[in-house]
Chains A and B, each alone.
Chain A
């Protein structure tokens, strides 16, 4: 069965620090998709990135970067030069191509607090 683990429950940093959010997943499928979502206090989940299991290239988008390593089943998310607006709960999620359910499995989330 699929599983997503976000071991960091809460992280607190000071503005301009870099921070990495960890995500470890388990799946038996060879084809799967990994996602990161941001949930600010307002409640809406904001889509950040989708990565398929055949694409291990790291991705950078502005201050955000993602490191996908199949060898360690990890899909970590780094925010460079963090800002107060980055304060939110971040969820990593997994979707498998092979199961009939076709549903997102979410990790438990990491709450990031960026202090000014």
Chain B
């Protein structure tokens, strides 16, 4: 089973709202990722968690706040977003991260976010 689930599928929020995106995997993977994808562009890495610890932050603005409550769950807390933050947010997981670069990442279906 290579399933990564994400909720919600769609989200519309105002610039003053606070919302959270959720990601879950039950493959026993110990690395989880957040990506942002704008239309007609490839995914851009935002954060990597390895063994529930933040290991990579790609200089993401602080209005995006990741959280990894346990090895199966990954959240992305959103606050005071801008319209240019509208995008598809993808979560991924892999067996591990940082050992050899060989780990295959499995992606969820994404959350389509619109910031008004």
Q: Which A residues lie at the B interface, using CB under 8 A?
A: 31-33, 35, 37, 42-47, 50, 52, 91, 95-99, 101-104, 106-109
Complex Cα distance, B35 from A13, in Å, reads: 30
- Residue numbers in A under 8 Å from B43 (CB-CB): 45, 91, 106
B16 → chain A, closest Cβ, in Å? 27
Kindly identify, within residues 76 to 114 of chain B, every residue whose CB is under 8 Å from any CB belonging to chain A.
Answer: 88, 90, 92, 97-110, 112
Q: How many A-B residue pairs have CB under 8 A?
A: 60
**B 29-47 to A, binary, CB cutoff 8 A, 1 in contact else 0:** 0000000000011110100
**B interface: dominant SS:** loop
Chain B interface category by residue count: 20 to 34
- Residue numbers in A under 8 Å from B48 (CB-CB): 103
Q: Which listed residue (B88, B90, B102, B107) contacts A95, Cβ 8 A?
A: B102
B6 → chain A, closest Cβ, in Å? 9
- Residue numbers in B under 8 Å from A33 (CB-CB): 101-102
- Residue numbers in A under 8 Å from B104 (CB-CB): 35, 47, 50
Complex Cα distance, B90 from A92, in Å, reads: 17
- Residue numbers in A under 8 Å from B107 (CB-CB): 37, 44-47
Q: Which B residues lie at the A interface, using CB under 8 A?
A: 2, 40-43, 45, 48, 56, 88, 90, 92, 97-110, 112
Instruction: For B111, give the chain A residue with the smallest CB separation.
Output: A43
- Residue numbers in B under 8 Å from A109 (CB-CB): 40-42
- Residue numbers in A under 8 Å from B109 (CB-CB): 42-44
B84 → chain A, closest Cβ, in Å? 19
Instruction: For B42, give the chain A residue with the smallest CB separation.
Output: A106
- Residue numbers in B under 8 Å from A106 (CB-CB): 42-43
B51 → chain A, closest Cβ, in Å? 14
- Residue numbers in B under 8 Å from A99 (CB-CB): 101
**A104→B56 contact, CB < 8 A:** no
Complex Cα distance, B84 from A17, in Å, reads: 39
- Residue numbers in B under 8 Å from A31 (CB-CB): 100-101
**A43→B102 contact, CB < 8 A:** no
